[in-house]
Amino acid sequence: MSDTTRATASAIEGRRVVVNEFVTLDGYMVGPDEDMSWAAEGFDPQMQEDVADDMSRTFDLFVFGRVTYDIFAAHWPHAEGGPYDDIARTFNRIAKYVATRRGVDLTWKGSVELREGAKDVAKLKLEGGPALVTQGSTELVHSLLAAGLVDEIRTFTFPVLLGRGKRLFDDSSEPRAFKLTHSAVSSNGLIHATYVRDGEVQTATVGGERKPSTAELARREKLKREG
């Protein structure tokens, strides 16, 4: 994606890209076997209500990677009338964009295929309209962060360590500052936090503008030499 496309897409008002993810304390979205059963115990009744309200009101369009789409398409079309009826009805009503280079069976009503991933998301963002919200989809999220297309990050952090798996963030993310706009903690220790984009990363000398000590200057020179 060109710098011009990235800057223009990021500046458009009306259609925001929202990364909405479950994550462990050590930063994993899923374990190596794609299992997410560790997330089942984190929701107390109040947090379930907050999540249901959040997911039913704040977006109209969903963006998936192929694997996540297959998981959702096998469940949510058949979940209306169940304990998460409001969420199921919302998911089944809205448009679902699926980023895949290999193609996918669009069995879920309202599904649209995207072959160019972040490039196609940038085009959708330029059109304006309702928010584009991700779920799961590690590789797609990485590409959106690398392209500077993410306007908001909502994390549900569970008090669990997995040790390995697929991480929410990798080394490709474009540097950006975010600010916390909402947070809540469940009785089971689940932390729900919302961060919105807040310009460039600001840096400063720790301790203020005082002159670096001789030891600090030596440390910096050593870092330059040794990396």
In the predicted model, what is the mean pLDDT of residues 202-216? 75
In the predicted model, what is the mean pLDDT of residues 127-139? 89
- More confident site: 83 or 214: 214
In the predicted model, what is the mean pLDDT of residues 168-180? 93
Q: What is the pLDDT of residue 208?
A: 62
Q: What is the pLDDT of residue 1?
A: 46
For 151-182, give one letter per residue: b (16+ CB within 10 A) or e.
bbbbbbbbebebeebbbbeeeebeebebeeee
Lowest mean pLDDT among 26-30, 35-39, 125-129, 158-162: 35-39
Distance CA 215, CA 224 (A): 14
Cβ neighbors of 30 (< 8 A, separation 6 or more) are 36, 136, 138, 165, 166
Average pLDDT for the chain? 85
- More confident site: 187 or 197: 197
pLDDT band at 140 (very low <50, low <70, confident <90, very high): very high
In the predicted model, what is the mean pLDDT of residues 74-84? 92
- More confident site: 203 or 206: 203
Q: What is the pLDDT of residue 58?
A: 65
